Structure 1
Amino acid sequence: MAWKIDELIDDSDLVYERDLARDANQESIWLDYYNHKLAKHVNSPETKQTYRELVFVLERAVRQLPHSHQLWSRYYEVIGEPDETASQKQIQLFSRIYERATANSSELDAWLVYLQFLTEFCNYEVTLIRRTFDKALLAVNSKYHYHIWKQYVKFADSVGGPTAAAIYKRYSQYIDPEILAKKSLETNFPTSIEVQSLYDFIDKFKELGAQSEVRNIYEQLLASPEKYKSLGTPLKFLQEYIDFLSKREEEENFDIQEKSSLIESLILQAIQLDPENLGEIYKGFSRYLQTPNVSIDARYYFEKGLKNCLTVRDFEIIYRLYTNYQEEKLVQLRDDIKKYPTEDSYSIEFNFRIHCLETLIDNRPILLNDMSLRQDRNNLDAWFKRVDIYGENLNQILKVYVSAISSINPFQAHSASGIEANKLSKIWIDYASVYASREDYSTANLIYSKAVESQFRDLDELAELYIQWSEMLLQSNFDDADSRSLSVIEDVLLKKFDPDLDKHAKQSVQFRIHRSTKLWMFYLDLLESFIEDKDSTSEIEKVIKAYDKMIEMKIATARTIINYAQFLQSWKYFEKSFKVYESGLTYFKDSEVRYHIWKLYLPEILQRENIGIERIRDLFEMCLFGNENDVGIPAHLSKDLILQYFQFEKGKGFLMNSIRILKSGIQKLRKEWSEQNVSRNVRNNLAIDKFDLYKKVFETIGILQDTDETRNAYESAVQDDSLTLPQIIEVTNSFINFEKSLKQLDRVRALFKFVTRLSAPDAIIMKQVWEAWEQFEVEYGSEATFKDMLRFKRTVVEEYARNELLKNSLNPMGFVKSSTGPKVSSINASEESEPQKVNEEANPDQIEMDMDDL
């Protein structure tokens, strides 16, 4: 039905028409005209007529002003939105209107309405929709593109295929590269995928089958690894790329040869990039080799991997993959031989592969050793292991020694497993021994001459080289073997070094070798081996000069001194040997060392019959009772020598002097026992030693049969607070027996009173004492004395009970403070009852007073 102009314009509209006639480009006139029409027919029931009039005004308006967003907005309000019931004709009408509205518009809303309409009602028009999205992106300001891409990627997911891949490719170019380079980021892009990084696009392109786009992204990652470092390392990109190429289907424009070349180049890049993780790289490579139509021979790459891996794990991975690869090739060739029996090339290759596999298996130990040396060429264990691998292959062993000597840094050489024997010097020695064992002593001599010029971390290594060199020369077939052997050592030990040498030279082992005690001791053994009898005075003098030189250089050890003295004694130079002992005593300040020297020196001098008594006494006095800071020894080491001195005096008939020595020894031990810094173990040993000396005193005094001396000795012992409770009880029992033998019964009772108060009566160790007292009273006492003993026992029991109650009341936790007054050690007392200390009423002085009153 045609629209009539007189039906669309009435008299009230003329004022707007006149204004438009004067200036039709005024948007406000058109809007006023539209509002006039809208208000005029607000209550009009003729809806269709109203629609026509409004469309009439707006159609003219947008034709006149096609860029007016407000006019097009009014137009959209009038025509409304299509719904599911809209006909194809209506859809085409809406499409034309939306297209006209956006043709010259940069307004986002207009484009969004059009794009929403197309994706909802014209989704079959894929090309039209894609081009419309592209136009929208060109027309709208870029800061609003997010809203367009939101619909665009949704459309891409709905259509899929190459179109979707193209859309996502463009979408990836739109997103800020900094966003794509980050591992995780909350973005304002709520699309059908969560945009986190390039990896999200990789997954999407894999899903869409856009293999070339995946390759492009990986190449982008590898081209700028620094830019995408938050996503991973270049090695990670390479490994993923190799895995992708190994698993994916072929593209029409990407042939097998091109793919193989690409993977090979990626493998080489990965190997060069991270040789420490070759195992993982080769896993991906192995997966590629298992794909169909792979024509490359991977032996080169596997062998390269075995020669470059740095860990046992990587070695085992690559070795296993390599052997599997070779076995699979053999299976394939065997099938080909069965299929083509007349084709010789398959049999030739099969035999070649068999040889390669056997060689690979045979060479596994040496290949693994190569890996160990790549890890650390200064690891001596690996070099000695390499020698063992080659077994009897002399040529290879010699090559190992040459390679080790030229490769190892002497200052970094070490045994990773801590094997003491594995030293750099041993490599030199073993190298020379190969020639020496075949009597090629000239070559062995040359090797040793070069070896001693090398540097070593430890002085003993260089010393060992000189020792082995000298011993080799002794066994050689040279006419002057002995002199050569001796000359090798003397040249270095007796050589005078220039004191003006630079600091670096003075730090070398060659500068310090003349101070090697190990080498000097070998030199002395060598010199002594040349002495045939006592007439070899020149050789003996040479040994003496060597020992004196060591002492002069202050490198002599205690063993050196002892060996020197014993050497002199063996050739009857006794006085010289004594002087050596004495020089050792002044040379060494350590008490243990002095003790061992005295222990050897004193018996030697006692054996000499021409030594005067006074000289021997002076030596013993110097050792035992002289100034310890001079040449004496401490008390805890002196018991054996005190007894030796005692035996000497006793053997000479000086009995009183021998007793004096024992008493002086006891005082020496008591003094050290009372010092603050003495350890418990030493203090215990001192108590034992002192008790042994006391027993020796009692035994010796008994020979004299001097009552006063014997009694004084016993009284001194029982009052010694360094003795243990069992020791005091034992001494008191002996004292009691002595007094009983003299019929001094009151003294015996006084001793029983003393000893029974040393600990609680119910202690196991005290029960025997009380029983002994009872037995004594039965044999020697009376009813009155027996009752006195019982009363005394009750007193002691009550006293200990009171003390126990007092302690418990003062200390409810049960801890007991040590008692005051004279102390008696109770180290070996019974565990059932802790022995108490002597209280003030039973102090040792009381014994003497009681006995003096008798």
Structure 2
Amino acid sequence: MWWRYLEARRDAPARRRYILYERALKALPVSYKLWHAYLQERQKAVRGLAITDPAVASLNNTYERALVSMHKMPRIWLEYLDFVVDQGLLTRTRRTFDRALCALPITQHDRIWQLYLKFLMRPGTPPETAVRVYKRYLRLEPTHAEEYIAYLKAQGLWGEAARKMAELVNDDTFRSLEGKSKHQLWLELCDIITKHPKDVIGLKVDAVLRSGIRKFTDEVGRLWTSLADYYIRQGMYESARDVYEEGLTTVTTVRDFSLIFDTLTQFEETLLQHKIEHGGADEDEPEQANGTDHDDGEDFLLKDDENDIDLRLARLEHLMERRPELLSSVMLRQNPHNVHEWHKRVKLFAGNANKQILTYTEAVTTVDVHKAIGKVYTLWTGFARFYERHGDLENARVIFDKATQVEFKYVDDLATVWCEWAEMELRHKNFKRALDILRRATYTPDSINRRATAEAEREGPVQGRLYRSLKLWAMYCDLEESLGTLESTRAVYDRILDLRIATPQIVLNYALFLQENKYWEESFRVYERGVSLFKYPHVRDIWLAYLQQFVQRYGGTKLERARDLFKQALSQAPPEESRPLFTQYAKLEEDYGLARSAMEVYDRAVRTVPQADRLAIYDLYLARAHEFFGLGKVREIYETAIEAEAPDGLSDEDCKKLCLRYAALERKLGEIDRARSILVHASTMADPRRDVLFWKQWNDFEVAHGNEDTFREMLRIKRSVAASFSQIHYNTTIVEAATTATTTGEEGGKRKREGDDMEALEAQVTGTNLPGFVSAGVVQPDQRAAQAGTAADDASAAPGAGAAAVSNPEDIELDEGAVEEEEAADAMENIQLETKPVPEAVYGGGGEQLGALDRFKKRKTEG
């Protein structure tokens, strides 16, 4: 009702409406709606008035009266606080904010604090008041500490900012709302401390920064330089140098080292330059003594009263000279087990024997053999060589003796130490001592359990497995051969064989050593032990040497024993390793045995060796057969090789080569039909697209020895073979290149080619001068044309010829080249050859050496 009453009197004067609001509020003092409307109307009325106006004071009193009953309403408080803040009354505003925080529940405080913090940021607000208020706010919202620190930096309150920052970096539960890491917070703290050291009072700067250095070990260069910068701004230059030195000797990364070293160098150069410019007088130090800008702008007094330019210059030079050593220390702090870095450090002290000895001593005591990067034994051997170079063999022997007691990771490392020790004694002509060292190294301890497994033996120290080191035994053998007796050397070799650690080379060396001393049978026994120890492919060299030496020694006197050895070797050898054994065995039979036995060896070889090696064996086989048994045996071998099938036969390529050789042999013997039969057999393996050489040779053969029928038969066979290979695809580029290279090589550089091979054949068949018929007269061109025309007319006049060609669906369609060949062959049938009698002397009294045309004539006459 009151609200409707007020709405009805909306146009009444303001004073009368205020009286109505007062009457309504007196009746309804807890009506938020009436109070809010009343205060809003009163606030609009005073807008723009001075704060000294009575209406402003009256409105303040009205707000106070409203808050008596409306103290739980945050909206009323916020409007009142906005009104008070605009009045600029600091004390009253602060107290009003405090009253609001006390009156409202904690869940509503965040709305008040937003306005409260905005009030603190207004110009004219005393920093002391703001600091106290912020501290209260951080009790409610501790995560907003960065806002507080930012405010302190803006107000120049560096001491309070440093203290608060120190609390944050030491609080492990703090999480930055701005996403800053702990390391970034530490760096901000360092900047505050170092740039404003006099404002940071009561804070243990050294302890704070050192705690950060201990926490952030991966990037501490900035913290060390900040701590040194703090001392520099305090004028404590010696303390700053101590901090720099401590940083250089503790950092573990090259980046941090470079940062500290460069800053220290710039600091020393700046001090030296300032001292030179002022002639050593007691002047103010520059503001950038350490290479960083000083924000406070104050000067620091130089404490030295004397002219110490030479001292400062020497200090700077010494610092630059120490840089490699300091950097080496950094690398070793990263990984003290890096053997390569220790060697580099020793080289840094070249010319300083004491430091090199100390470095080696530190290295061998620091490096753990199980964590080392590199060969640990090189440190011990390098240490011993150092004493050797300085002529102190006694200390070198002490180092080697200590090195042999180290439990290295691998047996080979310990064996290398013993070998180095022995080589040192050899360099100084102490041969007896070197032999004693190797005897000690190869001594088999009595505590070694002979039946212990390899795994159990590997679990023990390397000293217990040293007696099986082949490196030591090999060196021991060399020394015994050079310095010892025959018996001592044989004892060493026999011990190696007994331990079953010998290699094929050791066996060969032992046998050769015995042969040099004329102990032939003992050397053959060594070979026997060697072949029993190893298998293929390792035993191959032993067998070859054994058989060669046995044959050279006894020749044919112990032929049966030699044969047994060869049979034993061949029974163990795989096929791919048997070729040299077969050749040696056959050579033995040729020189000292029976030719028939040699042929049996070759026959077994061609059936045993891999297919790729059979052609070479056949070459030897044929050569020896021709030498011992003549052409009959040769023909038998050729036929056997050609007819053999997989897996005992030759490959197609090798078989074609052998067929060509066989055909050439028969051609020389005048057996033309046999040669042609061989070529026919080989043609099934010769693709005309690839094996151009084969077909060219057959073509040359027919031109020289054939006739019309044989030539046509060759062409028919060629077409048939080409059809059988038609489903096989080749890389035509490679085939053409190979064909061109083959043709070029045979013709001796002749480059001219007149069409393909088929066209050349047609030209030879249809041409006026057939190369294969030199002794025969040929009809004139007009007669050939007439005969060819008559044959063509007869062919065209044949009844139903064209219809049959068209109507028969099973006819094979020949390409143009094949048709032309058929026509050329038909034309050849009508050619009448003129013959001449052949002198009787040509035949040599027999009929087996007839030429091609004479045989042709003979067959025509007889049939």
Question: What's the TM-score, normalizing by structure 1?
Answer: 0.75
- Are the equivalent residues in 1 in contact too, given 2:638–2:662 (CA < 8 A)? yes
Among 170, 176, 180, the residue aligned to 2:141: 176
Counterpart Cα distance in 1 of 2:405 and 2:6: 118
Q: CA deviation at 1:280?
A: 3.6
Q: CA deviation at 1:761?
A: 2.7
Q: CA deviation at 1:201?
A: 3.7
Q: What SS does the aligned partner of 2:45 have?
A: coil
Counterpart Cα distance in 2 of 1:48 and 1:733: 135
Amino acid aligned to 1:487: D
Among 491, 500, 504, the residue aligned to 2:440: 491
Q: CA deviation at 1:385?
A: 0.8
Among 58, 81, 87, the residue aligned to 1:93: 58
Counterpart Cα distance in 1 of 2:93 and 2:514: 115
Is residue 2:458 matched to residue 1:511? no
Match of 1:851 in 2: none
Match of 1:562 in 2: 508
- Are the equivalent residues in 2 in contact too, given 1:302–1:322 (CA < 8 A)? yes
Match of 1:199 in 2: 146
- Are the equivalent residues in 1 in contact too, given 2:414–2:466 (CA < 8 A)? yes
Among 391, 403, 427, the residue aligned to 1:451: 403
Counterpart Cα distance in 2 of 1:255 and 1:607: 101
Q: CA deviation at 1:511?
A: 0.7
- Are the equivalent residues in 1 in contact too, given 2:381–2:420 (CA < 8 A)? yes
Match of 2:809 in 1: none
- Are the equivalent residues in 2 in contact too, given 1:162–1:210 (CA < 8 A)? no
Match of 1:185 in 2: none
- Are the equivalent residues in 2 in contact too, given 1:286–1:321 (CA < 8 A)? no
Q: CA deviation at 1:565?
A: 1.0
Amino acid aligned to 1:54: L
Q: What SS does the aligned partner of 2:174 have?
A: coil
Q: What SS does the aligned partner of 1:430 have?
A: helix
Among 163, 188, 191, the residue aligned to 1:240: 188
- Are the equivalent residues in 2 in contact too, given 1:165–1:205 (CA < 8 A)? no
Counterpart Cα distance in 2 of 1:56 and 1:796: 130
Q: What SS does the aligned partner of 1:583 have?
A: helix
Spell out the pairing of 1:744-783 with structure 2 (5 A cutoff). Answer: 744-763=671-690, 765-766=691-692, 768-781=693-706
Amino acid aligned to 2:538: V
Is residue 2:477 matched to residue 1:524? yes
Q: What SS does the aligned partner of 2:279 have?
A: helix
Match of 1:281 in 2: 223
Q: CA deviation at 1:354?
A: 1.5
Match of 2:123 in 1: 159
RMSD: 3.7
Is residue 2:407 matched to residue 1:467? no
Is residue 2:643 matched to residue 1:719? yes
Per-residue CA deviations over 1:581-607 (Å, capped at 9, x if unaligned) read 111111112x12111111211221122
Cα distance change, pair 485–126 in 1 and its aligned pair in 2 (3 A): same
Amino acid aligned to 1:465: V
Match of 2:841 in 1: none
Match of 1:129 in 2: 93
Counterpart Cα distance in 2 of 1:276 and 1:126: 49
Among 476, 493, 496, the residue aligned to 1:550: 496
Counterpart Cα distance in 1 of 2:359 and 2:313: 29
Match of 1:700 in 2: 624
Per-residue CA deviations over 1:227-283 (Å, capped at 9, x if unaligned) read 338855543322121123344xx5xxx726849x75443332232222321234346
Counterpart Cα distance in 2 of 1:557 and 1:200: 79
Counterpart Cα distance in 2 of 1:46 and 1:725: 126
**How many residue pairs get matched?**
709
Amino acid aligned to 2:543: W
Is residue 2:408 matched to residue 1:430? no
Cα distance change, pair 160–657 in 1 and its aligned pair in 2 (3 A): farther
- Are the equivalent residues in 2 in contact too, given 1:72–1:101 (CA < 8 A)? yes
- Are the equivalent residues in 2 in contact too, given 1:459–1:509 (CA < 8 A)? yes
Cα distance change, pair 241–752 in 1 and its aligned pair in 2 (3 A): same
Match of 2:292 in 1: none
Cα distance change, pair 91–792 in 1 and its aligned pair in 2 (3 A): same
Amino acid aligned to 2:473: W
Counterpart Cα distance in 1 of 2:303 and 2:66: 78
Counterpart Cα distance in 2 of 1:799 and 1:557: 55
Among 154, 164, 182, the residue aligned to 1:217: 164
Amino acid aligned to 2:437: V
Q: What SS does the aligned partner of 2:56 have?
A: helix
Counterpart Cα distance in 2 of 1:344 and 1:46: 85
Match of 1:573 in 2: 519
Match of 1:636 in 2: 576
Match of 1:850 in 2: none
- Are the equivalent residues in 1 in contact too, given 2:387–2:395 (CA < 8 A)? yes
Is residue 2:313 matched to residue 1:350? no
Counterpart Cα distance in 2 of 1:262 and 1:437: 55
Cα distance change, pair 762–530 in 1 and its aligned pair in 2 (3 A): closer
Q: What SS does the aligned partner of 2:332 have?
A: helix
Deviates more, 1:498-507 or 1:549-558: 498-507
Q: What SS does the aligned partner of 1:159 have?
A: coil
Spell out the pairing of 1:58-69 with structure 2 (5 A cutoff). Answer: none
Spell out the pairing of 1:666-745 with structure 2 (5 A cutoff). Answer: 666-669=606-609, 673=610, 686-687=611-612, 689-720=613-644, 723-745=650-672
Counterpart Cα distance in 2 of 1:77 and 1:86: 15
Counterpart Cα distance in 2 of 1:52 and 1:639: 129
Cα distance change, pair 520–50 in 1 and its aligned pair in 2 (3 A): same
Cα distance change, pair 77–662 in 1 and its aligned pair in 2 (3 A): closer
Match of 1:613 in 2: 559
Counterpart Cα distance in 2 of 1:515 and 1:221: 64
Deviates more, 1:96-105 or 1:640-649: 96-105
Cα distance change, pair 399–128 in 1 and its aligned pair in 2 (3 A): same
Match of 2:211 in 1: 269
Q: CA deviation at 1:732?
A: 1.4
Deviates more, 1:597-606 or 1:97-106: 97-106
Counterpart Cα distance in 1 of 2:368 and 2:476: 29
Among 545, 551, 558, the residue aligned to 1:600: 545
Per-residue CA deviations over 1:536-556 (Å, capped at 9, x if unaligned) read xxx222221221122111111
Deviates more, 1:75-84 or 1:355-364: 75-84
Deviates more, 1:329-338 or 1:353-362: 329-338
Q: CA deviation at 1:439?
A: 3.9
Cα distance change, pair 219–414 in 1 and its aligned pair in 2 (3 A): closer
Q: CA deviation at 1:699?
A: 0.9
Gapped regions of structure 1 (runs ≥ 5): 1-31, 181-196, 416-422, 532-538, 674-685, 809-813, 817-825, 834-854
Match of 2:45 in 1: 82
- Are the equivalent residues in 1 in contact too, given 2:6–2:17 (CA < 8 A)? no
Match of 1:656 in 2: 596
Match of 2:348 in 1: 389
- Are the equivalent residues in 2 in contact too, given 1:432–1:444 (CA < 8 A)? yes
Among 214, 225, 228, the residue aligned to 2:175: 228
Cα distance change, pair 438–157 in 1 and its aligned pair in 2 (3 A): closer
Counterpart Cα distance in 1 of 2:665 and 2:14: 151
Is residue 2:195 matched to residue 1:255? no
- Are the equivalent residues in 2 in contact too, given 1:761–1:796 (CA < 8 A)? yes
Per-residue CA deviations over 1:786-828 (Å, capped at 9, x if unaligned) read 3332233134315524762xx49xxxxx799xxxxxxxxx9x9
Q: CA deviation at 1:170?
A: 4.3
Q: What SS does the aligned partner of 1:434 have?
A: helix
- Are the equivalent residues in 2 in contact too, given 1:58–1:75 (CA < 8 A)? no
Per-residue CA deviations over 1:17-71 (Å, capped at 9, x if unaligned) read xxxxxxxxxxxxxxx9x78xx8499569874774475366468679xx7x88677
